A and B are shown apart, each in its own frame.
Chain A
Amino acid sequence: MADAKALRLKIDALRSEIADLQAKRHAAETAPLAAAQASQRLAGLINQGAQRYVARGSFMAFASPTIQPAPGDLIPGTDEGLFDFLCAAIGDRIIEQLATLLEERCAEGLSAVERSKRLAAIDVELLKLGRSEEKLISDAERAGITIIRRSDADPAIVLEGN
C-alpha cells in the first residue's frame, strides 16, 4: 500500500512536470513573431499594394492630353484601391511607424527558427517524461495497482510500451 502511494506521488510529480511543459509549448506556439519578421511581412504587403497601384496606372489620366482627370483616377473607389494608393503614396512612413510599434510589442517574439527549435526541445522533453510516466503506470499494473492514464497521453507512447 505504501508502494502504491509512493508510485502515485511519483506519477503526480511527473504529470505536474508534463503540464508545465505543455503550458510552455502552448506559449511557444502562440508567441508573436519576432519584430523583424513581422515588419518584413508588413513591408511585403505594403510593397504589393504599391506595385498594384503602379500597375493599374489610372494616375496616367493626369498625363493625358484629352482626358480631364477625376478623383477616381488618383484614388480608385474601392477599399483595396485606397489601400494601394496609401501604399504607393506613404508606404515607407506606414512601414516605419508600424515597425516601431511592432518592435515595442514583439519583445518576446520568436523567429520561425527559434520557435521550431524551442518546440522541438520541448517535444523531446515531453517524450522523455511521457515514457517515464507510461513505464511507471505499466509497472504499477503488473503489481496489481491500477492508475488511470491521462486522456491526453500520447498514443504513440502508450502503445509502444508493453
Chain B
Amino acid sequence: MDLQKLSRLRAQRDALHASVKHLSAQRRELLEEIHRFEAQDSEFQVSGFELSAADKQTAAEKREQLEAVTRELGEIESNWRSSAELVSRCRKHMEAG
C-alpha cells in the first residue's frame, strides 16, 4: 500500500512539474510576443507612425495573459515544490522503515 501511495504522490509531483514546464513555455512565448510589439512600436515612433488600434489591443491582451500565466505559474510552482519535498520525505521514511 505504501508503494502504491508513493507512486501516486510521484505521479502528482510529475504532473505538477509538467504544468510548470508548460506554463513556463507559455510565459516565454507571451514575453517574446510582447517584446515584438514593443520593438515594432519603438520603430514606428522613430518614423512618426504608431501601432494600429488592433495591434495595441492585442498587445494589451497579451500583457493581461502574461500576468495571469505568471500568477498561475507561481502557484503551481509552489505546489510542485511542496509535492517534491513530501515525496522525498516519504521515500526517506520508507527507506528508513
Contact = CB atoms under 8 A, between A and B. Distances in A.
Contacts of A158: 5, 9, 86, 90
Contacts of A156: 93
A67 interface: no
Contacts of B2: 159-160
Interface in A127-156: 141, 146, 148-151, 153, 155-156
Contacts of A151: 81-83, 85-86, 89
B86 A161 contact: no
A162 interface: yes
Nearest to A150: B82
B4 A162 contact: yes
Nearest to B85: A151
B46 interface: no
Interface of B is mostly: helix
Contacts of A161: 5
A153 B83 CA distance: 10
Contact of B86 (A141, A146, A150, A160): A150
B6 A159 contact: yes
A145 to B, nearest CB: 13
B89 A148 contact: no
Given A151-B81, A162-B4, A146 B12 contact: yes
B4 A155 contact: no
Contacts of A155: 86, 89-90, 92-94
A156 B90 CA distance: 8
Nearest to A138: B5
Interface in A91-115: none
A161 B2 CA distance: 8
Contacts of A162: 1, 4-5
Interface string B55-72: 000000000000000000
B82 A148 contact: yes
A149 B90 CA distance: 12
A33 to B, nearest CB: 31
Contacts of A160: 1-2
Given A155-B90, A159-B93, A148 B83 contact: yes
Interface of A: 141, 146, 148-151, 153, 155-156, 158-162
Given A148-B79, A159-B1, A159-B2, 8 more contacts: A148-B83, A149-B83, A151-B86, A155-B90, A155-B93, A159-B5, A159-B93, A160-B2
